[in-house]
Amino acid sequence: MRTIKGPGIFLAQFLGDKAPFNTLEGICKWAASLGFKGVQIPTSDPNILDLKKAAESKTYADEIKGIVNAAGLEITELSTHLQGQLVAVNPAYSELFDVFAAPEVRGNPKARTEWAVNQLKYAAKASKNLGLNAHATFSGALMWHTVYPWPQRPQGLVEAGFKELAARWLPILNEFDANGVDLCYEIHPGEDLHDGISYERFLEATGNHNRACLLYDPSHFVLQCLNYLEYIDIYHEKIKMFHVKDAEFNPTGRSGVYGGYQGWIDRPGRFRSLGDGQVDFKSVFSKLTQYDFAGWAVLEWECCIKHPEDGAREGAPFIKDHIIRVTEKAFDDFAGGAADDAMNKKILGL
């Protein structure tokens, strides 16, 4: 076993146009002042990180790493959640997701997909240049509009969907493999990879690609009523990243999992700041430690009630207090004895 690294913080929800949140240097100093040890960097804001440049220039990557290190932090991983979403977009969602793309490819689904694929390939090379071994993304979705089986799905639809999804991702997965980086899909509603079964179907469609890994975030499973602790037991070998995010699910006689088209504040399932929701983080950290999770515990703050700066300030000590410093000896060593082959045979009656 090893001690989980952390606390880290995902910067996406904190970036803004005012200091200290408008520069990488400023936001890193802010994060360090709260007690964070690592930052997970989104790649959709060139003012924070130029993804293409980081992929093509080791010198630039070293400069980015230097800015983070100067604040007393490490880069935990990069993220291409927004670009990954655009690798596969059903036409029903084209306009809604178009804003995620670079302006020059908006309104052109084919060009947008090509742009997204190239962004992911840049991310593989940039991760290598930064000395990282894991990367966060979304899978995108071709089938999400059919998640509820009404009307009845035509025979072969799901199989065709995963075949196409795998075809789009395989060149990307191969690029990550060539750069020695695990590609970790955040299992998330709205994505074709939204639970364990959908991930297994995708994995099979990719020929069980060794770089098709998982970002574990229990908050999304609370909202789906999925057993998030058993999920670790099942998929721990594939879990390479960890978002520490809380959530609550309080169904009523009027609304449940689907939420009745309500906004976040009124939905039965809501994301909450750490400690304000229902996730059993003591058990989560215990299981991940038990299974020798080698990555970072990274705060992803999303809450419809609490101010983000308060969520971050409370999040660092929350994660620190949940990280388990692993033992270097068995608790009952004091009562043990030295190895003795003759004694062992005697005890066994041999």
Q: What is the pLDDT of residues 123-180, one digit of tens each?
A: 999 999 999 999 999 999 999 999 999 999 999 999 999 999 999 999 999 999 999 9
Distance of alpha carbon 194 from alpha carbon 162, whole angstroms: 13
pLDDT, position 340:
84
Give ∠ CA 173-124-185 in degrees, rounded to 5. 55
Give ∠ CA 289-192-258 in degrees, rounded to 5. 90
Distance of alpha carbon 76 from alpha carbon 38, whole angstroms: 6
CB 77 within 8 A of CB 131: no
Name the pTM for this structure. 0.95
Rg, C-alpha atoms of the chain: 22
Q: Give how many domains the chain has, as a whole number.
A: 1
**In this structure, what CATH number is given to the domain that contains residue 65?**
3.20.20.150
Q: Which domain holds residue 322?
A: 5-347
pLDDT, position 273:
98
Instruction: List the alpha helices (DSSP H) in the chain.
Output: 24-33, 51-56, 58-70, 81-85, 94-97, 109-129, 157-178, 196-205, 218-222, 228-235, 281-290, 308-322, 341-347
CB 247 within 8 A of CB 272: yes
Structure tokens of 2? 């090893």
pLDDT higher than 70, residue 335:
no
Share of the chain above pLDDT 90, in %: 93
pLDDT tens digit string along 289-317? Answer: 999 999 999 999 999 999 999 999 999 99
Per-residue pLDDT band for 91 (boundaries 50, 70, 90) equals very high
CB 276 within 8 A of CB 301: no
CB 302 within 8 A of CB 243: no
pLDDT, position 334:
65
pLDDT higher than 80, residue 330:
no
Average pLDDT, integer, range 78-89: 98
Per-residue pLDDT band for 321 (boundaries 50, 70, 90) equals very high
Which helix H or strand E contains 213, and what residues bound it?
Answer: strand 212-216
Long-range contacts (CB closer than 8 Å, 24 or more residues apart) made by 160-163: 161/192, 162/192, 162/201, 162/202, 162/204, 162/205, 163/205
Q: Residues with Cβ < 8 Å from 230, sequence gap 6 or more? A: none
pLDDT higher than 90, residue 336:
no
Exposure string of 137-152, with b = 16+ CB inside 10 Å and e = fewer, is bbbbbbbbebeeeeee
